[in-house]
Structure 1
Amino acid sequence: MSATAVAAAPLSERAQLGRALLGRFARRSLDVLVAIWIFSGAIVFVEPSPYELAFVLVLPVALLAGLGLYRSTVGLLAIIFLFTPFALIACFQVRYSSVTSALTFSLVTIFLLVTSYFVANFVAEAPGRRMKLIVSAYTAAALFASILGTLAYLRLVPASDLFLLYGRARATFKDPNVFGPFLILPAMFALQRILLGDRRQVIWGGLFYMVIFVGVFVSFSRAAWGHFALSSGMVLALVFFLEANAREKVRILMMSLAGALLLVVALAGLLSIPAVNHLFEVRAASQDYDSGATGRFGRQGYAFELALDHPWGIGPAEFRNLRIVEEPHNVYVTVLHVYGWGGGFLFYLLIAVTLWKGFAALARPSPYRLLAIPLISTFAMLAGESAIIDTDHWRHLYLLIGLIWGVSSAMGQYESHAAGKRLLV
């Protein structure tokens, strides 16, 4: 319709036409904005981070685009609604911090939960195309962070110290212990392409996997090292037993041996650098802060006892002002302090239901099962890692939750297509 015709149309028709044009523009721009948002997850120097700011643009555009809301994600929405009052009540229990800073912390948590609900519905609406979009953007972010962190560790970029902490690579993150685990999900999708893809996918997947492997290594996070290894083993086993045919199983066995040899060579090359070898020996050894009454595990016991005495919680950032200045570094204890018993229970429920949905998705044949394998292989290990570190503000934790709920919803809607073509993103 021409501009003249639009101007001549009745007001109601012009309003409808305007809404239609706005909706069309929103649908066209939504994928681009989501890709930018996912990529911004690699830049977490401050709170609120660019990730939060980018989502503020994504959400209204998604609503204008008519994003569907699915019955299968209502459980996730219910958890968010029930969690919110407990998290806010706990903010008013603080004694040493300001209520404003406590509210900011809890509102960020609620905000991140909302992102998981958005992702779940976004993926459920078009699982193949949108998972490819998200994985591609996440892979680009992981490669950017890995390369920057590695080059900074090797002192090959200007102002390298900005991207290091205690001699360990942190790239554009606050902490190496967040940087390392952030990289793992794209590496698992890359590994799956190595195992089942064509020659081109094998080459690119292998390159991505190795670059991310080096990035995880130079973070010198022991938890990230274990997470990477165990998630890789889980992807390998699940693909082998659930998806590979006889010919692919032979190929996987051969490639696994070759890949393991290549990783050993790469690791040996890294350890041949004296500074790398020294830090590796330090990090691989038992750390003083892990043991003793005030060590990581000792203070977790004290933190749990404290939590039992405060059903409404003590609020964010309060524990460090009490008898022990270090945080518990166990999210399953921390959430009881920060969000109270009710908020802590709902956080446990969120993790448990997400694990159940992920493993249930693996149990039924579907063209979407290859989307679920890297997700649950990463999330299951992240849930375990949360017992030794606080993860309740890790952006990729909530992204993983949303992706698992989204893929699970898609599998429930399209179970009749179980014999369809496998989706390898």
Structure 2
Amino acid sequence: MSAVTDQRQNAGVDHAKKNRALIKLISTFAVGLGVFLSGFVIDEPAPYELYMAGLIVIWALFGLRLSRTVSVLLAILIVFNIGGAISMGQMPDLKSAPMYIAVSLFLAFTAVFFAAIVNSNQRILPVIFNAYILAAICTSLLGILGYFEAFPGAEVFTRYGRAMGAFQDPNVFGPFLMLPLAWLVHGVLVGNLRALPIRLVPILIITLGIFLSFSRAAWGMAALIIAGLALLVFIRNPNRLFRLRIILLAGLAVVVVLLAIVIALQIPSVAELFTARAQLVQEYDEAQFGRFARHWYGMLMSIDHPLGIGPLEFGPIFGEDTHNIWLKAALDYGWIGFISYLTLTMLTLGFGLRILLRERPWQPFLLCAYLVYVAHVAIGNVIDTDHWRHFWLLIGIIWGCAALEVRHQSDSPSRKASVSALR
């Protein structure tokens, strides 16, 4: 009887293990699919919104846990959107403002979701990054094929003669490609050189997509991120041979990029648009009511309207959107929203920087996400980023890694005590 009982217990244990393995596989695939869908936002609501809304609800019902660190992120984002709701109350006609704030709140929840799942299982990070790379390759190919009109109707993936992939704007398409580019370049810098050809193909595809987006912000971000990666990797490793490798690879990368640009400029349409877009200041920037003038007028308006003027109200008044995330936070979300967003930015930068170079399993992922986030903060001075899906994913990754570090620090004393007791 005991043998039969043991067999049944073992069978039950094996069955439970199989069920847990299946649930883990399904949940991992579900997260990867959500990240992949973030690369396809032609219309709104996009499949990403519909899918992620369902995924977050299901995950919350079956045990989404928020640590103290992630709870702080949630609290800041709720206050930020409360500011948006108050600002909306200043509008005589709500128009599409309720939907705008609803999307803002949803994107805030996605940041909290990604932070929570990273904190609960650091092994989800490779899944997130690999799914993101796959999305970047697919949307880059669509942008490239659209730019060269490779098939009938391909122009749907372009705008104003610029590649935009499966997005609504080339200025979102370009920045979206930054994290995959950073991760692939990081792999080239520190990984096995035998895998270089495997990484080189997606790097070339993504780089061409960035170039054909003709987004000055994206070009600058790519340069900043790659230079930052090379510098930080160089600083982290004191080995002379490794540092020589970094220098040689960085020099080779510069040569390859310059050659690629020279080749691309042989195409007349590319050369013409490149010449126009390469100018640091465009005509619409310095006009009487250009981008920079609007920033000044908007700042004065925000002083007179501490509760905000309502989401999307700035554009109809001045003919263009704010194109400045700080101004947008103050006008669309009021002073409450502005202070919340400033707090979020400072904490994200501070938390990430404090643990950036610590030897942890998740350090490479944090390093890439942090540099890309810094680049996004920089371009926020000339563009609105509050409704970029991947921007909130970056915040989620950084806060998730910060929460992992807090847990790691809290576990260390107990582990040391256990070791001492065994001795």
Displacement, 1:64?
4.6
Unaligned runs of 5+ in 2: 1-15, 413-423
Residues 148 and 171 in structure 1, CA contact (< 8 A), matched pair in contact too: yes
- 1:305 correspondence with 2:287: no
Aligned residue among 184, 200, 212 for 1:218: 212
Which shifted more, 148-157 or 387-396? 148-157
Write the distance in 1 (CA, Å) between the matches of 2:118 and 2:23. 17
Q: Name the residue aligned to 1:69.
A: 66
CA distance in 1, matches of 2:145, 2:234: 35
Q: In the aligned structure 1, how far is the partner of 2:20 from the partner of 2:243?
A: 47
Alignment of structure 1 residues 341-356 onto 2, 5 Å: 341-356=335-350
- Work out the CA distance in 1 between the residues paired with 2:17 and 2:333: 43
- Code of the residue aligned with 1:195 in structure 2: it is L
Structure 2 length as normaliser, TM-score?
0.89
1:95 aligned onto 2:92:
yes
TM-score between both structures, scaled by the size of structure 1: 0.88
Question: For residue 420 of structure 1, what is the aligned residue in structure 2?
Answer: none
Q: Summarize the Cα distance change of 1:377–1:244 in structure 2 as closer, same or farther, 3 Å threshold.
A: farther
Q: Give 1:25 deviation, angstroms.
A: 6.0
Is 2:78–2:105's contact at 8 Å kept on the other side of the alignment?
Answer: no
Aligned to 1:248: 242
Contact 2:165–2:173, Cα closer than 8 Å, also in 1: yes
Partner of 1:37: 34
Aligned to 2:151: 157
Q: 1:199 aligns with which of 193, 200, 219?
A: 193
AA aligned to 1:30 is S
Please name the residue that 1:51 is paired with.
Answer: 48
Please tell me the root mean square deviation across aligned C-alpha atoms, in Å.
2.0
2-structure distance, mates of 1:320, 1:410: 41
Amino acid at match of 1:105: Y
The separation in 1 between residues aligned to 2:238 and 2:142, in whole angstroms, is 35
CA shift, 1:72, in A, is: 2.1
Compared CA separation, residues 82 and 23, structure 1 to 2 (3 A): farther
Give 1:157 deviation, angstroms: 2.7
Matched to 1:192, the amino acid is: H
- Are positions 1:412 and 2:406 aligned together? yes
Q: How does 1:386-397 map to 2 (within 5 A)?
A: 386-397=380-391
Gaps of 5+ in 1: 1-18, 418-425
Structure 1 contact 97–318 (Cα < 8 Å) conserved: no
1:340 maps to 2:331: no
- The alignment status of 1:178 with 2:178, answered yes or no, reads no
Once the two structures are superposed, residues 212-233 of structure 1 have per-residue CA deviations (whole angstroms, 9 ceiling, x without a partner) of: 1110000001111101111111
- Tell me how far 1:361 sits from its aligned partner: 1.6
Identity of aligned residues (%): 34
Distance in 2 (CA, whole Å) between partners of 1:329 and 1:83 is 19
| Preserved contact between residue 27 and residue 65 of structure 1 (Cα < 8 Å) | no
Residue-by-residue CA offset, 1:230-284 (whole Å, 9 max, x unaligned): 1111111111112463332121111111121111111111111111001000111
Q: Deviations over 1:169-195 (max 9, x none)?
A: 111111000000000101000000000
Q: Does 1:166 align with 2:196?
A: no
Say if 1:368 and 1:411, in contact at 8 Å, map to a contact too.
no
Query: What SS class does the counterpart of residue 151 from structure 2 fall into?
Result: coil
Work out whether 1:292 is the aligned partner of 2:290.
Answer: no
